[in-house]
Amino acid sequence: MIPTVGMVLRETTLFFTKRGLPAARLEAELLMAHLLGTDRLRLYTDGERPLNKEEVSKYKALIRQRLSGQPLAYITGKKSFLSWEFQITPAVLVPRPETEILVERVVEECRKLTTGRLLELGTGSGIIAISLAHYLPGFQIDAVDLSPAALEVAAANAEAHQQKERINFYCGNLYAALSMDSGSRYTGIVTNPPYIPTAVIPTLAKEVQQEPRVALDGGPDGTEVIRRILAEAPHWLVPGGFLALEHGYDQLPEIQKMAMEAGFTEIASYQDYAGWPRVAVCRRGTPPLS
């Protein structure tokens, strides 16, 4: 019997389910769409399309990659985030749905302003900076990352999304990548920093462990990088400016303490889709006027 798209998808879904993949059908479809260079919708209209031996062989190779623990986004080279699709490579973290909440909160903080400047620390693939550029057309954005390879991905994504002129990329360690001058203060700072405790990383799913360690490891208690970001943030913010950061589900009390010590007077917390505290927005005094 000649295998068809629909037949292979059904078999792969069952196989992935038995191996414990939670989104078995979705992953089977995304791998098939990647193989055939099409979108998932076409798989339903082309369910009777026969697959030749070479295509079956390549699809099996993709399945083996996935079951070895390689993240799906690294295999397909792309990942959807909010309303857009971004290039993803092993040089950057795979975007998570929780980070969409971070972007939404920053947009809400800026919605009353017509212009401003934002700084993203640890931009990775650039998804946060680029999404903010889409939503906030009056804002200029500076984005920093320690990894030159990550910045290459971010720059390619910015160009693909026609936001290259709106975002300046800098390579370096947090604020050290920037030059403090009269024009360097920001309306807001946004960051999804490494926040996983070092000892926890070996216990994570093997696909997560394949992501860049420098983007995961937050030090002994997970707040080492967050502490540095909070401590220096007031020097880079305009009066009334804010810092929005993603953090671990159990780190809010420590973040509130560090933020107050750094001079922030208001700390708002927002939950992720599972109901855990996930995003903190720290503010200094009265919001700036546009």
Is residue 74, in this structure, part of any structural domain at all?
no
Is residue 80, in this structure, part of any structural domain at all?
no
The answer on 178 and 49 residing in a single domain is no
The answer on 100 and 38 residing in a single domain is no
Is residue 86, in this structure, part of any structural domain at all?
no
The answer on 253 and 111 residing in a single domain is yes
Q: Which residues contact 137 (CB under 8 A, 6 or more apart)?
A: none
The answer on 27 and 100 residing in a single domain is no
Looking at the structure of the chain, the number of domains it has is: 2
Could you tell me if 78 and 87 are in contact, meaning their C-beta atoms sit under 8 angstroms apart? yes
Q: What CATH number should be reported for the domain holding residue 36?
A: 1.10.8.10
CA dihedral 65, 100, 33, 154 (to 10 degrees): -70
pLDDT at site 290: 47
The answer on 191 and 148 residing in a single domain is yes
Instruction: Point out the domain boundary residue: 36, 68, 100.
Output: 68
Alpha-carbon span 221 to 195, nearest angstrom: 8
pLDDT at site 181: 63
The answer on 34 and 143 residing in a single domain is no
The answer on 32 and 175 residing in a single domain is no
What is the tens place of the pLDDT at every residue in 243-285? Answer: 999 999 999 999 999 999 999 999 999 999 999 999 999 998 6
Range of the domain at 28: 5-68
Is residue 81, in this structure, part of any structural domain at all?
no
The answer on 236 and 95 residing in a single domain is yes
Helix or strand (DSSP H, E) at 171: strand 167-171
Is residue 84, in this structure, part of any structural domain at all?
no
What is the tens place of the pLDDT at every residue in 138-165? Answer: 999 999 999 999 999 999 999 999 999 9
The answer on 189 and 141 residing in a single domain is yes
H helices of the chain, in order, are 5-18, 24-36, 40-45, 53-67, 72-76, 98-110, 127-135, 148-160, 224-236, 252-262
Q: What CATH number should be reported for the domain holding residue 264?
A: 3.40.50.150
The answer on 104 and 58 residing in a single domain is no
Is residue 82, in this structure, part of any structural domain at all?
no
Expressed in angstroms, the distance from the first to the final Cα of the chain is 67
What is the tens place of the pLDDT at every residue in 74-128? Answer: 999 999 999 899 999 999 999 999 999 999 999 999 988 989 999 999 999 999 9
The answer on 108 and 27 residing in a single domain is no
The three-state secondary structure class of 190 is strand
What is the tens place of the pLDDT at every residue in 29-87? Answer: 999 999 999 988 899 998 899 999 999 999 999 999 999 999 999 999 999 999 899 99
The three-state secondary structure class of 106 is helix
The answer on 182 and 40 residing in a single domain is no
Listed range (75-89, 182-196, 213-227) with the worst mean pLDDT: 182-196
Is residue 288, in this structure, part of any structural domain at all?
no
